[in-house]
Amino acid sequence: MNQLKRALNCFLSDQRGVAMVMVVISMIALLGITALVTDIGLLAANKQSLVNAVDAAVLAGAHELPEKPLLARDTAVSYALQNGCNPDEPEIDPVTNSKITVTATRQVDYIFAKVLGFTSGTVSANASARVAALTSHRGAAPLAIPDQEFDFNTRYLLKQGSNNDGSPLGPGTYGALSLGGTGARNYEDNLKYGYQETLRVGDIVNTETGNMSNPTKRAIDYRIDRCNHVPECTATSFDPGCPKILIIPVYEPNLLEDGQIKQIKILGFAAFLVERVEGQGNDNYIEGCFIKMVAEGDSDYFQVDYGLRGVKLIE
């Protein structure tokens, strides 16, 4: 009987030992899974943070290209820091006249994986953005300018008031476009608020006949009155979102009828900052300067550059 008791006690003791071993193994496995889930999630979160930061950095920096490469670099660094990068993380590749690249690398300290002997991991992200001539735009003004090389320090008369040979579109037309319809009301709304459909390089657009002097003056005065920037926007210092800026299709004639251009073909887009609108009837004109800036829309590096550009991520 005593031998039976001893055998039973030994068996129960062995079972408790086996159970303890199983518990320890289970805890190690659970810790490993926890470390895997938590620390991989930590790496992923830091990776996404760097991706967001470098994307914002190159898009902001590219807005200063190609004229201001040093400012593009400084702007990119500033945006990277504002969007979560530490001061030692962002690196800017040499900036070209059309492209900027930012890389960021970060050491991430593990939380649970340290128990298993792993202390940290490395994540990195890089992005490149390119600035190129704009090839599409939503919100263009219903005005046109012939294909030419613009002098950005010279005042232009955007709309010709007279219907004589001074009009680039020929007798009876004055530089106005028929976008989404015809008539003075449609033209005035498009000039006030921008045409609410997308125009693209290669599109064929009808011209608008008639002087449209009163709708032109009302619409441009409307835009000028809504520039609330201090100091007021000028061709050398402006807010890109200023209502005084008109996005203008640049054209080549497409359909000539009775000496008058009935249609134009869009070759590109230019930005025009309005300074004033003057006159009535045949003396009505818009005066201002063409400017260099970045706007929303598609862009193409091989497109003719009229000073209006788009920015897009390329990596």
Q: What is the pLDDT of residues 157-167, one digit of tens each?
A: 887 655 444 44
Mean pLDDT for the stretch of residues 142-158 = 90
Q: What is the pLDDT of residues 23-72, one digit of tens each?
A: 556 555 555 565 566 778 889 999 999 999 999 999 999 999 999 999 99
Per-residue confidence (pLDDT) for residue 110, from 0 to 100: 85
Mean pLDDT for the stretch of residues 245-262 = 81
> Which has the minimum average pLDDT: 48-62, 140-154, 249-263?
249-263
Q: What is the pLDDT of residues 240-249, one digit of tens each?
A: 999 999 999 9
Residue 299: CA atoms inside 13 Å, Cβ hemisphere, count? 25
Per-residue confidence (pLDDT) for residue 19, from 0 to 100: 53
> How far apart are the C-alpha atoms of 26 and 29, rounded to whole Å?
5
Q: Using the predicted structure, report yes or no on whether residue 22 has a pLDDT greater than 60.
A: no
Q: What is the pLDDT of residues 163-218, one digit of tens each?
A: 444 444 444 456 889 999 999 999 999 999 999 999 999 999 999 877 888 999 99
Q: Using the predicted structure, report yes or no on whether residue 259 has a pLDDT greater than 80.
A: no
Q: What are phi and psi of 206, to 5 degrees?
A: -75, 145
> How far apart are the C-alpha atoms of 247 and 136, rounded to whole Å?
11
> How far apart are the C-alpha atoms of 236 and 242, rounded to whole Å?
13
Q: Using the predicted structure, report yes or no on whether residue 11 has a pLDDT greater than 50.
A: no
